[in-house]
Amino acid sequence: MRRMWFALVLAVAVVTPAGAAPSWLGYTGLLLTPTADALDSQQWNIGYHHVSDAFNAAVVNFGLARGLEIGGVFYDPDSRFLDEEFTAQVKYRILPETATGVGLAVGWWDVIDQIDSTPYGVVSKRITNVGGRPLRIHAGIGGGILDGFFAGGDWPITNNILLMAEYDTEDLNFGARFGLAQGWRIDIGIVSEEFGIGASYNARF
């Protein structure tokens, strides 16, 4: 265990910024909730997240055009859903976030309705600086697994460690994203009162 934590600390010492990455449900976001960030053309990522023995998900996403991402999501039989499933997601960033304006994105998780079809809309905005680093908030409305109002926030306490908190319409979740070398990111968090961990690889063609 000590060697594992030492390896993580060493990796963080040679990191790239934590930045945007796939959420634990696939789309670009925090833990379970989306943000108005999205992949741009020629960007792609893969990820895998595990929460206790109740949730396991593998994802892959591609940026087809600026702000337009599509992806595939696979849940194993131990997920919080009833059966082993594969589904798809699509997200489009209508407005990029600016110094004076909000970012706006719309998306549809589970496009092929294998699990719980989930359309949503979300806005993101940097509201202030805390310790010289930007504090952003995100809020949206959805259906399906995001049935109602959801919200979250993120704050980079260093260039490579991003703290995250969110309300996913049912639970409060908390976590951190660590930016590692060569596009790798590690997520840890408490989701639905369970500890979870995962990783993603983010790159460009």
**Range of lowest pLDDT (36-40, 65-69, 80-84, 199-203):** 80-84
Token representation of residue 189:
């968090």
Write out pLDDT tens, residues 11-69. 443 444 556 799 999 999 999 999 999 999 999 999 999 987 778 899 999 999 999 99
Q: Amino acid letter at 205? A: F
Write out pLDDT tens, residues 145-154. 999 999 999 9
What is the set of domains in the chain, with CATH numbers? 2-204 (2.40.160.40)
The CA distance from 72 to 80, in Å, is 18
In the chain, % of residues over pLDDT 70: 86
The CA distance from 91 to 107, in Å, is 4
Average pLDDT value for residue range 112-141? 95
pLDDT at 55: 81
Q: Determine whether 1 is exposed, middle or buried from the number of CB atoms within 10 Å of its CB (0-12, 13-18, 19+).
A: exposed
